[in-house]
Amino acid sequence: LIRRLRRGPLDAAVALDLFEQVAAALAAAHDVGVIHRDLKPENIFLARFGSGDGREVVKVLDFGLAKLLEPLGEGPQTDANQRIGTPRYMAPEQADLDAVPDARWDVYALGAMLFALLTGNPPYKTKEFKDTLQSAPTLSDRLQLYREMLKSAESPALALRKTAADSALIEI
């Protein structure tokens, strides 16, 4: 999916089709107690099968940061703070190293991905945002800045210029 996004925003109908497929895959994972924790375009593979209709089928990849909401046994478990995900698509709550993993983190990332599909960029992708985060001396400081910056940020302006975006969605 990231290769497609490098060419620019997707048509709204295509974006919604891909979004629905990713949402269905996440719902299936969440139904069995698995959260992804690093959902982003780089982890979505688009495949075409021999049906002849040319429709792309989504495959959600890289469950390397995935976490079981309820451990299945006494075997090795993924540490909740092993790694934290990708900031451009990460829920503010996920940027708290003491936070308990939650399926809502994936829902935030899914919304950020839809924004990227429709606009060509993830929300809050600005040089100032990047420079501010990189200026923090420690991971903990960067995560704190990230949470603060998202809480105080205005709605991403790119959505306002996307004619196919529903005005009700822009206000969310």
Active site residues: 38
Residue in 147, 116, 111 with CA at minimum distance from that of residue 132: 147
Residue in 90, 92, 74 with CA at minimum distance from that of residue 149: 92
Coil, strand or helix at 90:
coil
- For residue 48, the cross-strand partners are 56
**Which residues make Cβ contacts (< 8 Å) with residue 111, sequence separation at least 6?**
none
